[in-house]
Structure 1
Amino acid sequence: MSDASPAAPSLGPPPARTDHRLIAAIVASALFMQNLDSAAVTTALPAMAREMGVEPARLGAAITSYLVALTVFIPVSGWVADRFGAKRVFMAAIAVFTIASILCGRATGVPEMIGARVLQGVGGAMMVPVARLLLLRQVRKDQMLNAMAWLTIPAMIGPVSGPPLGGLLTDAFGWRSVFLINVPIGLLGIAMVAWKIPRMAPTDPGPPDLKGLTLLGLALALFMTGLETFGRGVLPRGMPEVALLLGAGFGWAVVRHCRQVARPALDLSLLRIPTFNRSTLAGSLFRSGAGATPFLVPMLLQVGFGKTASEAGLVSFATALGAMAMKPLARPILQRFGFRTVLVAGALLAAFGVAVAALFTPAWPLPAIFLLLALGGLFRSLQFTALNTLAFADVPTARLSAATSFAGTAQQLSPALGVVLATTTLELSSHLAGRAAIGVPDFCVAFLVAGAVVAASTPFFMSLAPDAGADVSGHAPAGGVRRAPAE
């Protein structure tokens, strides 16, 4: 990883003529492929299970194995990008993801599918944080806000557009098309990266922290396995809980180790930067609550209201439309009000946007549900853009590799925690009420709990300085002089 020392030398400002919009669009397209694939596979799972002659629960390992590999290999991505060059690693990551997609589309049994999905996870792990690193090293601070807004869109659109697209592809062309559609996207992505993104020379990050990476890999693998299998009947009874406990134990060992070495696998000293600290830790709390929504809404519409999968998918897409509508508004809002005010207000508005879904009943017209979901997507998109930008606003250039790896790991864990939060709340509510099956009242409880978790991030954002991230937003606190965004 990069040198943890705060005094690490600067690598210099990005090129003044960098077309940050084009670079952001290319990078965002690759991330959209990864996010879309992750969400679409879930819809294709029953068809895959029927053709392979296994129970759908067994094929749940295809999802779990991908997420575990993705999370485990993210921490090493920063060191690899420094050692071999971010552009080269990004192109290789797209190639690995594309080849693995072909192998997934040709799989005939569960072991082949799991192996291909693990390889796909390795490609995704290198693709996501290295893409962010590539973008951050090519833009000036005054361009960062617009650039990060582009990266928010695939993260919002992928999870909600994946299920309906996966269903359409599976019904029309078979489940293999869900994977094979990545091939032309991947080839185009590699060509665009090679053509339009400037080369970045490799640096010498020093030897990797092998012990730290091993401990961190074990911690993440066990913890993610526990999260992704909890309450789903994929593993024998009690095994998910054991995996979670072991993962927490290895996590404690990682923290102890990383505090004692000069170049740790996880650079905990980054948490001394207030903007990175709040964006990563409080941001993870926000993302966990917000991450329950893409799971709960389609389930409520189908299980609770009896809507079809297509209807549920189209209504859920309202969140993505709200996210796209916010993109041109994010910069002027942050410049006018600043990061602290926007994050505090955004957390409360987003919490309301999640909790209000508890009022939905079968009597509600779908257009009204669509409108409220779109407003919720609007608030969450602004919050994600602010968090993603503020996280790197004060990180020195020489430490960006470590920061993107750290933030990427935290962001990968948060949605999984959101799904566990949702499933646990649904089952607990149903059990306490004495219902044999999950019903609409249980979804009401789940939305309220998720909204409360989102709101719980507010006090942490309130502790930010009034001028936090002002060099990026250009905001001037009360009584101050408006800053021109620094280059």
Structure 2
Amino acid sequence: MTDAARDTDRPPAGPVGEDPLPRRVAVFAVVGLALLMFSLDQTSVATALTTIGGDLGADLAWAGWVVTIAAVGQILALPLGGWLSDRFGGRRMFLAGVAAFTVMSGLSAVSPSIGVLIACRFVQGLAGGVMLPAANGVVAHQFGRDRDRALALFTSVFPIGAILGPLVGGLVLTTWSWHGIFLLNVPLGIVLVVAGLALVDDPPHRRTGRVDGAGIALLVLTLLATMVTVTRLGSPADGPVWTVLAGALALGAGAAFVRHARRRPDAVVPVRLLAGRGLGIMNTTNVVFGAVVIGFSATLPLYAQVRYDLSAFAAGALLTGRAVGTIVTSPVAVALLRRLGFRPLLLGGLVAVVGGLVITAVAPPVAEPTVWLLAGSTLLGLGTGLCGPAANNAGMHLVPDDVAAVSGLRIMFRQMGGIAAVSVLTAAVTAADDPGLAAGVAYGVLAALLAAVGVLAARIPNRRGRW
């Protein structure tokens, strides 16, 4: 193909395999609904933490695991998901992920104890982590040379789930029970499996290298041991011995993981991408940014209920402001990236996110709590929409030859930050005499950490135009 042909408004048909396939719209609908189901589940469960803990006899520190353990499963499965799709086929892994997610949703709904529910949620996270890379591969295969536009539209499903999830969760919790939040996934999952069997084609397979199983195991062991330590610190009645042992295990596993990553060239977290050339600053930014965005989404309904005694539906609806704000400013950030570069958008967005956290953390001086919290949530969402795409671009332009690896690390670090934030906040709420005030202080600490990260991020050289 000549350069002139590439520059025309309507490019000529590409080679075999690059032409969009006839059933691409129907396949996109199936895959998009699966992603929406996953996104709804993540955000709707947050509205029911206090109810789940009360019904299953668990304090909030352990009920918070219902959210965080799914994120751990996702972190474990994301690097495995791409490898499994290349080895066994994207269609097979997509359908297996949806089916496992559906089965675990049904089992979560009938869990008799918090331990069983946590186990089911872990497998749900694994299923989601396997499903996501396979879903991207299926969409890319169906749309051929138009895959970039299709995948961009595909990622917009998550904000839609962020809007609908808290509303659905609050509504189901108000009119039914927390069991219904999980049961809603079952009929939808069955329909998606049947439709996927009929419509989805298998993308071409590729040869795969070895997966860093030892590195993934050490990473997950570190995360789980750290979560247990934080949870036990929030439950003083559990006694100090097991807390100390869990902390020692976390430190030992973390040290072993770092040593393993330094020795293995294809480690799940490549050492060369951890520091240098601004990567250390961006990785730190992603951890704190994930702690704020994921932690805020997972705990705002809980905070509104324990501090201001809002209903589950009203508390969940507060997250609508964050989601709408993100949707409004994200396309603006994408349009301005090449003209302004990533740094002004990143720093401006971080300022807005810090402002939203501060508003949320302090008691309303004039407005009703619902209006005040909605304002904080919306401001945080507006900032997230600005700095999210900018942070993504900043990390990738630093090492343009390792875009895929940097993208995977970005997701992993943000999920790890979210796990830490939810674990610490729920533990603080459990241990405090004034749970609402403790949660407000935690939001204030997050705001301070994010402001410090912004000072560091200002040191990264800006870059305009293409990269």
1:79 paired with 2:83, answer yes
Question: In structure 1, which of residues 373, 382, 388 is the aligned counterpart of residue 386 of structure 2?
Answer: 382
* Corresponding residue of 1:282: 285
* Corresponding residue of 2:309: 306
CA deviation after TM superposition for structure 1 residue 387, in Å: 2.9
In 1, Cα distance between equivalents of 2:298 and 2:63 = 19
Contact 2:357 2:444 in 1 (8 A): yes
Q: Which amino acid aligns with 2:454?
A: T
CA deviation after TM superposition for structure 1 residue 49, in Å: 6.3
- Matched ranges for 1:114-193 at <5 A: 114-128=118-132, 130-131=134-135, 147-148=151-152, 151=155, 154=158, 157-158=161-162, 161-190=164-193
In structure 1, the gaps of 5 or more residues are 1-11, 431-435, 472-487
- Matched ranges for 1:370-409 at <5 A: 370-388=374-392, 390-392=394-396, 400=404, 402-409=405-412
CA gap 1:256/1:120 in 2 versus in 1, 3 angstroms: same
Per-residue CA deviations over 1:58-112 (Å, capped at 9, x if unaligned) read: 7666556544433333443333233234444233212211122122234445565
Count of matched residue positions in the alignment of Structure 1 and Structure 2: 450
Contact 2:43 2:165 in 1 (8 A): yes
CA deviation after TM superposition for structure 1 residue 149, in Å: 7.4
Q: Structure 2 length normalisation: TM-score?
A: 0.77
Question: In structure 2, which of residues 451, 454, 458 is the aligned counterpart of residue 458 of structure 1?
Answer: 454
- Matched ranges for 1:74-473 at <5 A: 74-108=78-112, 112-128=116-132, 130-131=134-135, 147-148=151-152, 151=155, 154=158, 157-158=161-162, 161-190=164-193, 199-227=202-230, 230-232=233-235, 236-237=239-240, 239-240=242-243, 242-271=245-274, 279-294=282-297, 297-361=300-364, 363-365=366-368, 366-367=370-371, 369-388=373-392, 390-392=394-396, 400=404, 402-422=405-425, 436-438=433-435, 440=437, 442=438, 444-467=440-463, 470-471=466-467
Contact 2:235 2:430 in 1 (8 A): no
CA gap 1:397/1:77 in 2 versus in 1, 3 angstroms: farther
Contact 1:318 1:371 in 2 (8 A): yes
CA gap 1:451/1:405 in 2 versus in 1, 3 angstroms: same
CA gap 1:264/1:448 in 2 versus in 1, 3 angstroms: closer
Q: Which amino acid aligns with 1:37?
A: D
* Corresponding residue of 2:44: 40
In 1, Cα distance between equivalents of 2:26 and 2:332 = 19
Identity among equivalent positions (%) equals 25
CA gap 1:64/1:233 in 2 versus in 1, 3 angstroms: farther
In structure 2, the gaps of 5 or more residues are 1-14
CA deviation after TM superposition for structure 1 residue 250, in Å: 1.4
CA gap 1:406/1:154 in 2 versus in 1, 3 angstroms: same
Q: Which amino acid aligns with 1:285?
A: V
Contact 1:89 1:130 in 2 (8 A): yes
Contact 1:323 1:380 in 2 (8 A): yes
Per-residue CA deviations over 1:270-317 (Å, capped at 9, x if unaligned) read: 347858665443222222234443355434433333333332222332
Query: Greater helix percent: which structure?
Result: 2
Contact 2:215 2:260 in 1 (8 A): yes
In 1, Cα distance between equivalents of 2:343 and 2:302 = 34
CA deviation after TM superposition for structure 1 residue 355, in Å: 1.7
In 2, Cα distance between equivalents of 1:216 and 1:138 = 34
Q: Which amino acid aligns with 1:267?
A: P
CA deviation after TM superposition for structure 1 residue 443, in Å: 5.2
Q: Which amino acid aligns with 1:317?
A: T
In 2, Cα distance between equivalents of 1:335 and 1:311 = 39
Q: Structure 1 length normalisation: TM-score?
A: 0.75
In 1, Cα distance between equivalents of 2:425 and 2:113 = 31
In 1, Cα distance between equivalents of 2:349 and 2:25 = 25
Contact 2:278 2:398 in 1 (8 A): yes
CA gap 1:152/1:384 in 2 versus in 1, 3 angstroms: farther
Contact 1:276 1:392 in 2 (8 A): no
Instruction: Give 3-state SS (helix, strand or coil) of 1:97's partner.
Output: helix
